[in-house]
Amino acid sequence: MPSPEKFKISLEKFDIGGDVILQINEGYEDIVDKTPKKTKADYFKRAVDIMTEQVEAHKLQDVFEWNACCKGGKREKTSKAFAKENFQLSIDEKLEKIKVISNMGQPLRNEDGTITVKAVSYSNGKKYLCACSNFNGLKYDYSVSKNYCFCCAGHFKHHYEIMLGVKLKTLEIVSSPLDSNGKNPCVIKFEIL
């Protein structure tokens, strides 16, 4: 979720409610993409905290998934090329092939048919780091709700739907470096619809 401007648009788009939007934006009325990273991190931490308390879970998920970055451009072309080249393969065979694609995570098909993706596992050798451009490289002394990671889930969901040729639903953010002080990697669980 690199763009505060896009995020503010999504709050209106998904009808989050005027009072909640005012609380989120109070003191951050002028925040933009070029705002220093630390300020953007503080803003998004505040936003997810307020939304976790005051917004229905499905709406919060929809907002953050819609804000996912890297849905177009070169990655989308790669996803479409993968889909075209591998359309005849089973989902399990496609998942195996996805494992070698850069920045597409390590998918695993579960016994119940769901898909768990070890999405991002950046590390500094001591702990896992968040891949989000609003938090990576920062030192922060607070925990950020896993709900923020629905944004990253939106990225993976978008590309996996293209590559697998199925619709997905994000079931759970299993773990995140943001809420575990770097103890856990970014892991997301999807359901095939």
How would you write the pLDDT of the chain (193 residues) with one tens digit per residue?
A: 679 999 999 999 999 999 999 999 999 999 999 999 999 999 999 999 999 999 999 999 999 999 998 888 888 999 999 999 999 999 999 999 999 988 899 999 999 999 999 997 788 888 888 888 888 777 767 789 999 999 999 999 999 999 999 999 999 999 999 989 889 999 999 999 9
pLDDT of residue 167: 98
Q: Which amino acid is at 143?
A: S
In 3-state terms, what secondary structure has residue 89?
coil
pLDDT of residue 153: 95
Distance between CA atoms of 166 and 171, rounded to whole angstroms?
15
Give the dihedral sign, CA 133/134/137/143.
negative
Question: What DSSP character marks residue 145?
Answer: -
Q: Which residues pair with 109 in a beta bridge?
A: 115
Residue for token pair 């080249």: 85
Distance between CA atoms of 69 and 144, rounded to whole angstroms?
18
Residues 6+ apart with CB under 8 A from 20: 11, 50, 51, 54, 55
Task: Show the CA angle centred on residue 40, arms to residues 15 and 31, nearest 5°.
Answer: 65
Q: Helices (DSSP H) in the chain: which residue ranges? A: 4-13, 18-25, 37-54, 57-66, 73-86, 91-98, 150-164
Question: What DSSP character marks residue 170?
Answer: E
pLDDT of residue 136: 76
Neighbour-count burial of 135, counting CB atoms closer than 10 A to its CB (0-12 exposed, 13-18 middle, 19+ buried): buried
Distance between CA atoms of 189 and 116, rounded to whole angstroms?
4
Question: What DSSP character marks residue 123?
Answer: B
Cα-based distances in Å from 44 to 31, 52, 76:
11, 12, 26
pLDDT of residue 1: 67
Model pTM above 0.85: yes
